[in-house]
């Protein structure tokens, strides 16, 4: 328990955790089942190119998504590129800036210009009214992002896209298994892309998938992920290599089976953070509607109230071995690659306030309680800590660079 400022590791006290706590430390699932599947793949000597494990994974993911087709790929970034290309996106595509940089990079990489729209500061999701105002002659599509697993404007965005005859692709990297009014969020729009990266809710070491009800789109995407081939000696499209391996599918299947346990842990952690931080002035844990996979616990900190900025709080927590993430800062429109994009006030304000907190199966209840104790302590002494930093009497340990997050 920290009693005085000197007890903080930031000022030379002992760190609260001897081992670091991470955001998105991989969920492992049943190792025995994983190794059995890997053994089978080795025995078959079938390691990639649509092996039986990939086919089974695709079937399970399609069921989970409520979609007719699942096209498994080696990661979500390539799946987004292929989806955008197969959906005929060229010119400009409207999308939020408040997302992981993979979302706009996937479009830019295939020569499509992302046009960034602002968000609703309450939910962090793209603002459909702003999307509509940005539609112009060069617009060829809309990319929504189900950020933090929340359904992105489910009532308005699909209708808006239909009205303007624009294809609607969802980056659903965060939304594996999430539901909206009981239906999988992946049933919204024309196609959705999941990520099965090691740090995601369901992981396949690295992996992604496009899910859709559109038979033609699925067939095109299948070909594009395999060099554009539609037959053994037939190349129909400009393609790439985005195939998922059998090893990834083995992990993906094992991880899918572990979902009830993963969800229970995520939900318990989220509830614990919300309870422990309720009523702390200037602190808000982003609430989700039911059906979320609770993969992310996102806290907002209002410096005007707490006296301590998000970045200073993060630095203090890092020295305690609590490795939070400033997801997603800065907004993509502020990054060097996208310099010159118009300013987005809500995105910029939210991206200064957010902090992703450690959760997942590697984080226990008592650890969440301890993290919250320290957050409450720092906030209670916010102005004093900020003043010490300003006066140059900060932290003996703050210059220590954090260890890289395992990914």
Ligand X SMILES: Cc1ncc(COP(=O)(O)O)c(C=O)c1O
Closest to ligand X by CB, 75 or 309: 75
Contact string 14-33 vs ligand X (x = CB under 6 A): --------------------
* Residue 208 found at the interface with ligand X (CB under 6 A): yes
| Binding-residue total with ligand X (CB under 6 A) | 14
Stretch that binds ligand X, among 96-104, 317-325, 357-365, 394-402 (CB under 6 A): 96-104
Binder of ligand X out of 145, 244, 374, 385 (CB under 6 A): 145
Binder of ligand X out of 81, 103, 178, 319 (CB under 6 A): 103
* Residue 245 found at the interface with ligand X (CB under 6 A): no
Residue 73 Cβ vs ligand X, minimum distance, rounded to whole Å = 9
* Residue 128 found at the interface with ligand X (CB under 6 A): no
Stretch that binds ligand X, among 99-107, 180-188, 305-313, 348-356 (CB under 6 A): 99-107
Closest to ligand X by CB, 76 or 312: 76
* Residue 210 found at the interface with ligand X (CB under 6 A): no
200 is catalytic: yes
Stretch that binds ligand X, among 32-40, 114-122, 135-143, 168-176 (CB under 6 A): 168-176
Contact string 332-361 vs ligand X (x = CB under 6 A): ------------------------------
* Residue 102 found at the interface with ligand X (CB under 6 A): yes
Count of C-beta atoms within a 10 Å radius of residue 355: 22
Stretch that binds ligand X, among 44-52, 122-130, 166-174, 292-300 (CB under 6 A): 166-174
- Strand 168-171 and strand 139-145: the pairing is parallel
Binder of ligand X out of 10, 22, 98, 100 (CB under 6 A): 100
Binder of ligand X out of 37, 85, 179, 197 (CB under 6 A): 197
Catalytic residue numbers?
200
Which residues of the shown chain bind ligand X in the complex (CB under 6 A)? 75-77, 99-100, 102-103, 145, 171, 173-174, 195, 197, 208
């Amino acid at each position: 328990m920290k009693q005085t400022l000197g007890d903080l590791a930031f000022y030379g006290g002992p760190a609260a955790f001897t081992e670091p706590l991470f955001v998105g430390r991989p969920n492992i699932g049943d190792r025995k089942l994983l190794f059995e599947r890997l053994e089978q793949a080795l025995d078959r000597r079938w390691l990639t190119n649509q092996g039986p494990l990939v086919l089974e994974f695709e079937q399970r993911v399609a069921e989970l998504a409520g979609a007719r087709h699942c096209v498994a790929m080696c990661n979500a970034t390539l799946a987004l590129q292929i989806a955008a290309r197969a959906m005929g996106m060229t010119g400009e595509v409207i999308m939020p800036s408040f997302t992981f940089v993979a979302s706009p990079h996937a479009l830019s990489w295939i020569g499509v210009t992302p046009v960034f729209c602002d968000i609703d500061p309450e939910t962090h999701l793209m603002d459909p009214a702003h999307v509509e105002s940005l539609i112009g002659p060069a617009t060829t599509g809309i990319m929504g992002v189900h950020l933090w697993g929340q359904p992105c404007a489910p009532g308005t965005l699909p209708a808006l896209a239909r009205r303007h005859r624009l294809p609607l692709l969802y980056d659903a990297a965060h939304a594996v298994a999430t539901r909206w009014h009981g239906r999988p969020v992946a049933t919204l729009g024309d196609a959705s892309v999941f990520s099965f990266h090691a740090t995601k809710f369901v992981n396949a070491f690295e992996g992604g998938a496009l899910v859709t009800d559109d038979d033609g789109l699925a067939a095109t995407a299948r070909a594009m992920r395999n060099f554009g081939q539609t037959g053994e000696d037939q190349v129909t499209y400009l393609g790439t290599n985005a195939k998922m391996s059998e090893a990834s599918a083995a992990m993906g299947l094992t991880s899918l089976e572990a979902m009830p346990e993963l969800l229970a842990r995520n939900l318990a952690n989220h509830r614990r953070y919300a309870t422990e931080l309720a009523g702390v002035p200037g602190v808000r844990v982003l609430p989700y509607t039911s059906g979320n996979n609770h993969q992310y616990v996102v806290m907002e900190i209002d410096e005007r109230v707490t006296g301590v900025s998000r970045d200073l709080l993060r630095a203090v927590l890092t020295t305690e071995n609590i490795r939070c993430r400033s997801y997603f800062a800065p907004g993509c429109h502020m990054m060097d690659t996208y310099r010159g994009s118009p300013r987005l006030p809500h995105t910029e304000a939210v991206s200064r306030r957010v902090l992703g907190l450690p959760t997942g199966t590697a984080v226990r209840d008592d650890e969440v309680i301890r993290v919250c104790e320290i957050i409450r302590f720092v906030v209670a002494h916010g102005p004093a800590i900020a003043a010490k930093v300003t006066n140059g009497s900060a932290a003996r340990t703050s210059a220590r660079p954090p260890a890289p997050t395992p990914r």
